[in-house]
Every structure is written in C-alpha cells, then in structure tokens.
C-alpha cells in the first residue's frame, strides 16, 4: 500500500506538512481522502442527495469504484437532522432500505435506481452533530 500527501501540486510525506489530502493505493484500488480546508464535494455530487443548510464539510473520501463517503459537522440536534433526512430523501424520490443499526447513531439507508446512500447522524462532543453520508452503487440482492 502506498501513501502520499498531496499539497498544492506536489507530493510530500505526512511528517513534512499537515495532512489534508491523502491518496492511498490498496492493491490497485485508489482512495483519496481530503480533510479540513482541502475537503470539497465533487462536481458530480448527486443533486438528489440532501445536504442540510449550514453543514460544514469535514472529510471527503473518494474510491475508484464510485464509493463516496462525506462527513459534515452541524450545530443542530441529531434527531432533527435525521427527521429532515427522512422528509428530504422521500421528496427527492429515494426509497427506504434496510440497514443494520449503529450503536451510537441514527441511521437510515436509501435506494434509488442503481444507487444507495447510508445516512448516519451522531451527537458530537461540542453539542452539535456529525453527519456521515456513504454513497455507493447499489449491491445486488441475495436470493432467499
């Protein structure tokens, strides 16, 4: 596995500068992680996936297979954010899917066409909430 930190146009080791963007090669699979000021939603981020107003982007992970994991901070109650997601995703045409519960989060799964999104909202130590969106191609269903 190779690790490189991308700052500006060059590659530097993590110890030489604050890590903001990391590119990993895991057995031929490319994963790019951007945090803090380096984190940006990709231009192709789906318009039908809800992003709450005043959400501050913390982290973006992009995999070559199309998976996208984004994390936000919000100064709001986690239950209110989960309720907002329920309404917004339904209006946008997403269908609720089954998902295993998370021990410390309100979690929802949504499907639309060949896409799936898992939404997890957790209370944060600062009194607000952390929101995580895991977007991926929809997995084939197993036969019963």
DSSP assignment of 47-100: TTS---TTPEEEEEEEETTS-EEEEEEESS-HHHHHHHHHHHHHHTT-EEE--P
Alpha carbons 103 and 113: distance in angstroms, whole number: 29
* Structural domain boundaries in the chain: 1-31, 39-137
Determine the average pLDDT of the residues in 20-41. 81
> What is the per-residue pLDDT for 32?
85
> What is the per-residue pLDDT for 34?
87
* Residue range 50-59, pLDDT digits in tens: 999 999 999 9
Overall CATH class of domain 39-137: alpha beta
**Res 96 pLDDT > 80:** yes
pLDDT class for 141, splitting at 50, 70, 90?
low
pLDDT class for 85, splitting at 50, 70, 90?
very high
Give the least confident one: 35-39, 52-56, 83-87: 35-39
């Amino acid at each position: 596995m190779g690790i490189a930190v991308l700052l500006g146009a060059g590659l530097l080791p993590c110890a030489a500068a604050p890590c903001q963007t990391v590119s990993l090669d895991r057995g031929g699979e490319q994963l790019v992680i951007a945090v803090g000021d380096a984190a940006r939603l990709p231009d192709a981020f789906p318009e039908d996936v809800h992003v709450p107003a005043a959400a501050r982007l913390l982290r973006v992970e992009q995999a070559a297979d199309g998976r996208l994991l984004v994390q936000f901070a919000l100064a709001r109650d986690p239950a209110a954010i989960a309720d907002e997601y329920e309404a917004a995703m339904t209006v946008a045409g997403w269908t609720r899917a089954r998902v295993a519960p998370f021990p410390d989060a309100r979690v929802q799964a949504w499907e639309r066409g060949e896409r799936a999104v898992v939404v997890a909202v957790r209370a944060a130590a600062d009194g607000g909430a952390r929101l995580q969106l895991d977007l991926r191609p929809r997995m084939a269903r197993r036969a019963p």
